[in-house]
Amino acid sequence: MKKLIILAFAFCLVGSYHRLSAQEATVTVLYTSSVRGVTFSEEGGNEKRVFAGLTLPQEGQLRLTRGNTARLLYRNQTITLEGPALYTMTELRQRTKEATSEGFLSRFWSFVSNSIKDTDNAEQVERYHRRYLTNARAGISGFVGRESAISAPRYLTQAMDSPHLTFKWDSVAHPHGYHFTITKETAAEPVFSAVTKASELSLDLSELLLEPSAIYVWKVSARQADRSALESSMYYFSYEPDAEEYVAEIKEDDDFKQLSSQERQLYLLYRLEEGGLLHRAYRQYQELSADSSREAYLYRKLFVSFLARMDALEEAKSLVQ
Amino acid sequence: MINRIIQPHSLIITGLIFLFIWFLNLIRLNMHYIDPFNNGLKDYEITDIVYAYMEGQPLPAEETELPIVLVHTGDPDRAAIARLINRLGAAGAAAIGIDLFFDRLKEPKADSLLRQSLAQNPSVVLACELHGLSGDHEGFSSWVGVDAYFSEHAQLGYVNFPANRTKVIRLFSPWEPVAQDSIPAFATALLEAYRPNSTQALRRRGKAVESIHFARHAGDFVHHPQQRLLDSLSLDEVRQIVEGKIVLAGYVPMQGRGDPLKDRHYTPLNQSYGNKAIPDMYGLVIHANVITMVLNGQYINTLPKWLNWAILLVFCYLNVLLIHWIYDDFNEVFHGITRGLQIVEFILLFFLISFLFYKFRLDLDFGLGILALLLAYDIIMIYESLIRKRIPAIDRIPEEIPLKKRPTPIPEEEE
C-alpha cells in the first residue's frame, strides 16, 4: 500500500512538472487589413497598433474597428476576426482549443458521411436543378467605395485625455442639421444626442459622466430632403482623464532624460501617437507650431504630416497655406 | 497448417491478377486518350483527401514556429523591389527570396538601383529557371530568367517543380546538375542562406525528389503587401516582423484579390481532387511549404519499394485465398459475401492509409493493392469456370501442397 502511494505521488509529481514545463503556445498575427484599425492593449496599458508578424502577449485585449479584419495563428489554427469588436486573449485561446479538439476519427467520419450525402450526379442536377442553382454563379460583386459620406479627423478617436473637446467633421448638405450621438459601445441608447447646424460641436466630457476607459462611439448623420441620410463612420474613443500619468511616466524614463530638449519634444510626440493619445498629440503639435520661431517651422511641417496621417487633409492644407 | 496457407491455385490466381494489372498498365500507357476514367483521376492519390479534408491537426507549441514572411509585390517595379530589399536587409531579415524573373535590362535607373541593393545584401536569392534538358535526362545545360547584370550579385535558385500534364505539384527536387555545376532549388537556396546546416538532413536523405508536405495555405503565413513594409510601418516595426526570418517576396495577393490564375498551381490541398478546378496555391506559398517542411523535418515517408511490393503481394494473396475458400465452401452465396467483403476491406484500407498519412506522414502506395482486391473476384471466376476447365494440366494441380506426413507413433499395448 505504501509503495502504491509513493508511486501515485511520483506519478502526480512527474505529471505536474510536465504540465508546468510545457510551453504555452503563442498567438501570432498573420494578417491585418490595415495598420490602423487593429490595436492591442494589456491591462492598464495603452493601445498599441497590431500588424502581421507580431506575437501577442498571453493576456490583454484586441480591438478591431469597423471594417477591419485580422487573422491570428494559435496552435496551428487560424482565427479570423472582424471589427468592430473587442476580444480578450483568454476568449480567443478558448475558442481555438474548442475548434482543435476534433480528432482524426471524427474528421474521417465527417468526410465519409459527407461523401455519402454528396452523391449528386449530372442527372440529379438536371432533374432537381433549382436545388443546385445557388451552388455556382458566374459574375462578380460590384465595387463600391468604403468611405463614409461624412468623414472626420482620426485624432478624435482612441484615448481622449481632455474633457474639453471639439468634435469636427466634413461639411455636407444638411437641410435638417447634423444629428450627433455618443453611445457606449455595448449599449443601444446614446448617452448624448444633439442636433446642430455647424459641422463641429464642443463638449465637456466630464459633464457626460462617461466611465473612464470604457469604449464609446461617436457618430454624425445628416438627414436629406428626400429622407435619406448621409452618415459618418463610427468613431471609437475612450475618456482617459488619467492620461497625464502616462505622460509623466514617459518623462521619468531614463532614456527620455538623456535626450536634448528638442529631441524630448519629438520623442514625446512619437510616444503619444503610438500610445493612442492622438488628441493629446494634436494639441501638443498645435502648441509647438504656434509661434514664429525656427523650431516652430519644423514642428509645423511635422504637424502637417501628422494631420495627413489623421485623414485631416483640409486642416493640413490650410496649415501649409 | 502450412498446406492450408500455401495453395497452388491461389498462387496462380495471384500471378494472373498481377499479370492482368501489368496488361492494364500497358493500355494506360498507350491508350490513355480513350480512357477518360484514368485520365480524369490520373494524378489522384488517397492522401490528397487527407490534405483536402482532414488536415488541421493541432501542433505542439514548439512546432508552431513560423520563420517565414510573405510579401506581395503586385506587378513588380524594380525600383520598389530595390527599396524593399534594402529595407528588409536593414531590418535584419536572415534570407530574402525574390520570386520574380529579372531576365532583361529595362530601365537604367531602376536596374542600377536593383543591382546596387543586391550587391549590398548578400542574403538575397533570385529566382531562375532550368533550361536545356540533356539528351540522357541527367542534367540541364543552363539556367535562364535572370540577367547576368543582376545574377553576379545574388544567389540563384530554380523555381521549377516536377509535374505531369495535370500540373499538380506534389514533388520538389532540392538540387539539380546544371552544366558542370549543381544549383539549388529556390527553397533550398533560401534555407542555406537562412541557416547553413538546415539542409543537412535533406542531403542525408539523398533523394533526387522529395514529396512536399503541404501543411499551410497562403492565409496561414504572415503576409504583408510590399507597400506596407515600405511606407506604412517604421523600420523598428519592420524589424519586429522580419528580423532573423526568411522573407519571400513575389506575387501572392490576399484571398479574393488579384489574378486567381497568375502563378497559381494545383496542389493536393485542392478540394476538387478530380481536377477541373481553379488552381489553389500561389507559387510563393509552395516554396514556403517546402521551407516549412525542411525546417520542421516533417518529410513525407515512404516504404522501400521491395517492402511495398511484399505487402502488396501478401495482401493480394490473402484475399485470393479467402475469396477462393468462400468460392469452394459457400458457392451459393459467393457473390454477395465477396462483394460485401470488398466494400468492407476498401473502407478499412482507406481508413488505414489516411490514418498512417495523417499521424505519421507515411505515404503508403497501395493503389495496386486496391485494384488487386477489386480484380480478385473476377479473376477467380474466370480461372475456375474457364481456365481450369479448358486446361487439364492446370486442373491436375492438387488443391494443397502434399506434405510428407510424420509417422504417427503406435501406442504401446499395455501388458
- pLDDT given at position B36: 43
More confident residue, A153 or A15: A153
pLDDT of residue B33: 46
Average pLDDT, chain B: 83
| Full 3-state SS string of B385-407 | HHHHHHCHHHHCCCCCCCCCCCC
Residues of chain B contacting A100 with CB distance shorter than 8 Å = 56, 58
Closest CA to A40 of A8, A112, A88: A88
The Cβ of residue A169 has, within 10 Å, a number of other Cβ atoms equal to 22
| pLDDT classification of B413: cutoffs 50, 70, 90 | low
Q: In one letter, which amino acid is A199? A: S
Is the entire prediction scored with pTM above 0.80?
no
Residue pLDDT, tens place only, B90-99: 999 999 999 9
Check: CB of residue B372 under 8 Å from CB of residue B19.
no
Instruction: Please report the pLDDT score of residue A147 as a whole number.
Output: 61
Which residues of A fall below an 8 Å CB-CB distance to B?
22-26, 28-31, 35, 51-54, 71, 73, 75-78, 100, 104, 107-108, 111-112
Q: Which of B313, B334, B349, B333 is nearest to B380 (CA)?
A: B334
Asked if A313 contacts A307 with a C-beta cutoff of 8 angstroms, the reply is yes
Confidence category of residue B369, pLDDT binned at 50, 70, 90? confident
Segment B314-332 shows an average pLDDT of 88
- From the centroid of its chain, how far is CA A197? 31
B351–A30: do the CB atoms touch at under 8 Å? no
Give the one of A31, A51, A112 whose C-beta lies nearest to B233's C-beta: A51
Residues A309-315, mean pLDDT to the nearest whole number: 87
pLDDT value at residue A188: 79
The predicted pLDDT at position B160 comes to 92
What does residue A197 show for φ and ψ, rounded to 5 degrees? Answer: -90, -30
Q: How many CB atoms lie within 10 A of CB B345?
A: 18
Q: What's the CATH number for A1-20+117-321?
A: 2.60.40.10
- Give chain A's length: 321
Chain B residues within 8 A of A24 when measuring between CB atoms: 61
Q: Which residues contact B261 (CB under 8 A, 6 or more apart)?
A: B278, B279
**By the 8 A CB rule, do B246 and B104 touch?**
no
Q: Spell out the domain ranges in chain A.
A: 1-20+117-321, 24-102
Total CB pairs under 8 A between chain A and B: 80
Runs of H (alpha helix) within B32-123? 36-40, 46-49, 78-90, 108-120
Q: Cβ of A78 and B220 within 8 Å?
A: yes
Interface of B with A in 37-96 (CB under 8 A): 49, 53-54, 56-64, 66, 69
**Could B241 and A51 be called an inter-chain contact, meaning their C-beta atoms sit closer than 8 Å?**
yes
Q: What is the pLDDT of residue A303?
A: 93
Residues A179 and A220: beta-carbon distance below 8 Å? yes
Q: How far apart are CA B291 and CA B213, in angstroms?
A: 10
Distance from B54 to chain A by nearest Cα, in Å? 6
- Closest-CA residue of A relative to B350 is A108
Q: Please report, for chain B, the start and end positions of each structural domain, with discontinuous segments joined by +.
A: 7-43+302-395, 60-296
Helix (H) or strand (E) holding A8: helix A2-21
pLDDT of res. B116? 94
- Whole-angstrom distance, CA of residue B236 vs CA of residue B251: 25
The total number of residues shown for chain B amounts to: 415
H helix count then E strand count, chain A: 11, 16
Question: Closest by alpha carbon to A239, among A277, A275, A292?
Answer: A277
Using the Cβ of B228 and the Cβ atoms of chain A, whether some distance falls under 8 Å is answered with yes
Average pLDDT over every residue of B198-224: 89
Find chain B residues with C-beta within 8 A of A28's C-beta: 64, 66, 222
Which segments within chain A are labelled E, that is strand?
27-32, 38-41, 48-49, 55-56, 61-64, 69-74, 77-82, 85-88, 158-160, 164-168, 178-184, 190-196, 200-204, 215-223, 229-231, 235-239
Bridge partners for B143 per DSSP:
B130
pLDDT at A6: 66
* A123-147 burial: b if 16+ Cβ within 10 Å, else e: eeeeeeeeeeeeeeeeeeeeeeeee
pLDDT, position A144: 47
pLDDT at B125 (0 to 100)? 96
How far, in Å, CA of B316 to CA of B15, rounded? 10
- Please state the ipTM of this predicted complex: 0.70
| Alpha-carbon torsion angle A298, A302, A304, A307, nearest 10 | -160
* Across B25-30, average pLDDT: 59
Local confidence band at B372 (pLDDT 50, 70, 90 cut-offs): confident
